[in-house]
Amino acid sequence: MRYEMPTTAKAAAGLLAKEKGRAFVLAGGTDLLVKMKAGVVEPDLIVDIKAIKGMKDIKKSAGGFVIGAAVPCVALSENAALTKAWPGVVEAANLIGSKQVQGRCTMSGNLCNASPAADSVPALIAAGAKVSIISAKGSRKVAVEDVTTGVGRTSLKKGEFVTAIELPAKKPKSGDAYLRFIPRTEMDIAVVSCAVNVSLDAKGMITKARVVLGAVAITALLVKDAASAIVGTKLDDAAKAKLAAACSAACKPIDDKRGTVEFRTEVAGVLARRAAEIAYARAGGKQ
Amino acid sequence: MHSISLALNGKPVHGQVEGRTLLVEFIRESRGLTGTHVGCDTSQCGACVVSVNGKAVKSCTVFAVACDGAEITTIEGLAKGVDLHPMQVAFKEHHGLQCGFCTPGMIMASIDIVKRHGKSVDEETIRRELSGNICRCTGYHNIVKAVQAGAANM
Ligand SMILES: Cc1cc2nc3c(=O)[nH]c(=O)nc-3n(C[C@H](O)[C@H](O)[C@H](O)COP(=O)(O)OP(=O)(O)OC[C@H]3O[C@@H](n4cnc5c(N)ncnc54)[C@H](O)[C@@H]3O)c2cc1C
Ligand code: FES
Ligand code: FES
């Protein structure tokens, strides 16, 4: 196995393009190294992106935030502007593992690892985040929901890698939130999770919403019916009941030792209601 | 093979490692410092925590080659001669261990916690911060007490 630590994105893309064997990008390594130890993956080439200039930066612009692909999750919560604008995204990223895992793991790695239970992914989708992707042939941008295509599968082509995640500027009177259910209090993988992002008008009426479920299908689910259930309401009880029903209806979960189909389906609705309440309050809405 | 040079417990060391050699393998097998433990193969237990450039890192989840040029401190590097580090003293005095397997990682993680949260770090913070360090013996109660006492003396 070859290990390379290029200092430019171009050099990294070149290495990935040239490799004939199995090439993997290394960010925090908290999935990749564990899989290597288990013998699940045997890379021929590892391209560590942590030394690439700018890859560890969080940049704030008029358009929002650009989070480099090697930014460890702890750095997100240390960024006051980001935490203020996107508390749901930051809280989701800081549920990953424990402090030492957060010290290394990245949201880009969480996304590209393509686990259905990845914590930051529903929150990023709810926020309307995009990823910048580069290869030796050029670069492109796609919505986060278009990256994961199945368990462990992404739409990235050979030689492509993510250079940054872009969060839009926070709209006035908007708020996001993320909740997950785990049987323990820490260090566990989501059995069900839900992210909600809402925008309100001056009267507290929801004008836009994005509702995303995690761990109840092969990828995170952007549930349009759940969003329509609360748009045009002040998140009254009837709207919340419709939201919960739409979320439960969208679930296509598996039965496993972590939770049954019935449990996941029911809890998806409960979490959606609670996450919506938090997002609504963060947007300045009063119930 | 890659050549690496790093400072291990204050001493310069050089070595040859394969790309996939983990930092913990380098520390234990190449350097013979077996105080750093391996308690799992899923990066969950924290027995392997060392300090890399001043930050607590699970050495089973980092390649040695990625630590080229780094300053690394392991549990063996904490005492000054026969004088134990205040955190080591606190674990001893407060019975923060039984079998001791988790202790090197607990102590390395605890020192990092105190560096970031200060001498009067509260119980809740300690418990949350130590969620990546698993102990199968103590029930954590005395570990928390030890960290608070160690913090006060650091
Ligand atoms: C103890 C423990 C607890 C955990 N708990 C959680 C949890 O609670 N919730 C959760 O969601 N996850 C959890 N995880 C999984 C893991 O920590 C996360 O998925 C993390 O975000 C992965 O990020 P990373 O930077 O470490 O990825 P890496 O391991 O570096 O990479 C993961 C995968 O993505 C690819 N990749 C990485 N970066 C890029 C890029 N820029 N472009 C293209 N491909 C890329 C890699 O090739 C690899 O296949 C846990 C892991 C451990 C060890
Ligand atoms: S051996 Fe490193 S976390 Fe268990
Ligand atoms: S003292 Fe035995 S594992 Fe902690």
Q: What angle do CA B4, B7, B12 make, to 5 degrees?
A: 80
Decide which of B51, B74, B97 is a domain's last residue.
B74
Q: Is residue B105 part of a domain?
A: yes
Tell me the pLDDT tens digit for each residue of B34-85.
Answer: 999 999 999 999 999 999 999 999 999 999 999 999 999 999 999 999 999 9
Q: Are residues A189 and A90 in the same domain?
A: no
For chain B, the domain total comes to 2
**CATH (domain of A178):** 3.30.390.50
Question: What percent of chain B has pLDDT above 90?
Answer: 100
**pLDDT of res. A185:** 75
Burial code (b: 16+ CB inside 10 Å, e: under 16) for A9-46 equals: beebbbbbeebeeebbbbbbbbbbbbbbbeeeeebebb
Q: Do A33 and B61 touch (CB under 8 A)?
A: yes
Q: Are residues B18 and B66 in the same domain?
A: yes
Q: How many Å apart are CA A285 and CA A232, to the nearest integer? A: 13
Phi/psi-derived region of residue A34, left when phi > 0, alpha when psi is between -120 and 50, beta in every other case? alpha
Region A194-211: mean pLDDT is 98
Query: In A38-85, which residue ranges form alpha helices assigned H by DSSP?
Result: 73-77, 80-85
**pLDDT of res. A183:** 85
Question: Containing domain of residue B42, as a range?
Answer: 2-74
For chain A, the domain total comes to 2
Tell me the pLDDT tens digit for each residue of A93-132.
Answer: 999 999 999 999 999 999 999 999 999 999 999 999 999 9
Question: What percent of chain B has pLDDT above 70?
Answer: 100
Q: Do A34 and B63 touch (CB under 8 A)?
A: no
ipTM of the complex: 0.89
Q: Are residues A87 and A66 in the same domain?
A: yes
CA distance B1 to chain A (A): 9
Q: How many Å apart are CA A21 and CA B105, to the nearest integer? A: 36
A257's CB contacts (< 8 A; 6+ apart) are none
Q: Is residue B140 part of a domain?
A: yes
Q: Are residues A142 and A194 in the same domain?
A: no
**pLDDT of res. A257:** 85
Q: Is residue A163 part of a domain?
A: yes
Q: Do B109 and A2 touch (CB under 8 A)?
A: no
Lowest mean pLDDT among A145-154, A181-190, A267-276: A181-190
A77: its two tokens = 């919560």
Q: Is residue B81 part of a domain?
A: no
Question: What percent of chain A has pLDDT above 90?
Answer: 94
Q: How many Å apart are CA A174 and CA B107, to the nearest integer? A: 43
Q: Are residues B68 and B26 in the same domain?
A: yes
Q: Are residues A180 and A162 in the same domain?
A: no
Region A184-194: mean pLDDT is 86
Decide which of A146, A168, A190 is a domain's last residue.
A168
**pLDDT of res. A55:** 97
Q: Does the beta carbon of B30 lie inside 6 Å of ligand 1?
A: no
Q: Are residues A36 and A115 in the same domain?
A: yes
Whether chain A has a CB inside 8 Å of the CB on B46: the answer is: yes
Q: Is residue A14 part of a domain?
A: yes
pLDDT at position A187 over 80: no
Q: Cα(B36) to centroid of ligand 2, in Å?
A: 10
**CATH (domain of B147):** 1.10.150.120
Decide which of A113, A143, A168 is a domain's last residue.
A168
Decide which of B40, B74, B108 is a domain's last residue.
B74
**Interface-testing mutation among A40, A45, A50, A99, with chain B (most B C-beta atoms within 10 A):** A99
Q: Cα(B40) to centroid of ligand 3, in Å?
A: 13
Q: Are residues A223 and A157 in the same domain?
A: no
Q: Is residue B79 part of a domain?
A: no
Decide which of A134, A168, A202 is a domain's last residue.
A168
**pLDDT of res. B128:** 94
Q: Is residue A287 part of a domain?
A: no
pLDDT at position A10 over 80: yes
Q: Are residues B69 and B100 in the same domain?
A: no
Question: Containing domain of residue A274, as a range?
Answer: 174-282
Ligand 1 atom closest to the Cα of residue A120 is 11
Q: Are residues A48 and A144 in the same domain?
A: yes
**CATH (domain of B69):** 3.10.20.30
**pLDDT of res. A140:** 98
Residues A97 and B132: beta-carbon distance below 8 Å: yes
Mutation probe of ligand 1 site: the residue of B22, B41, B43, B134 with most atoms within 8 A of C-beta? B43
Lowest mean pLDDT among A50-59, A160-169, A254-263, B7-16: A254-263
pLDDT at position B154 over 80: yes
pLDDT at position B16 over 90: yes
Tell me the pLDDT tens digit for each residue of A245-265.
Answer: 999 999 999 998 888 999 999
Chain B hits for A50, CB-CB cut-off 8 Å, are 66
**pLDDT of res. A188:** 82
- Closest Cβ opposite residue A100 in set B2, B18, B46: B46
Q: Report in angstroms the alpha-carbon separations of A82 from A50, A59, A167.
A: 21, 10, 9
pLDDT at position A186 over 90: no
Q: Do A36 and B58 touch (CB under 8 A)?
A: no
Q: Do A98 and B46 touch (CB under 8 A)?
A: yes
Q: Are residues A245 and A103 in the same domain?
A: no
Chain B hits for A34, CB-CB cut-off 8 Å, are 41-43, 61
Q: Are residues A60 and A148 in the same domain?
A: yes
Q: Are residues A80 and A192 in the same domain?
A: no
| Ligand 3, residues at Cβ distance < 6 Å | B 97-102, 135-138
Tell me the pLDDT tens digit for each residue of A133-144.
Answer: 999 999 999 999
Whether chain A has a CB inside 8 Å of the CB on B109: the answer is: yes
Q: Are residues A89 and A123 in the same domain?
A: yes
Q: Are residues A126 and A222 in the same domain?
A: no
Region B99-103: mean pLDDT is 98
**pLDDT of res. B79:** 97
State the average pLDDT for chain A.
96
Q: How many Å apart are CA B56 and CA B108, to the nearest integer? A: 7
Q: Is residue A80 part of a domain?
A: yes
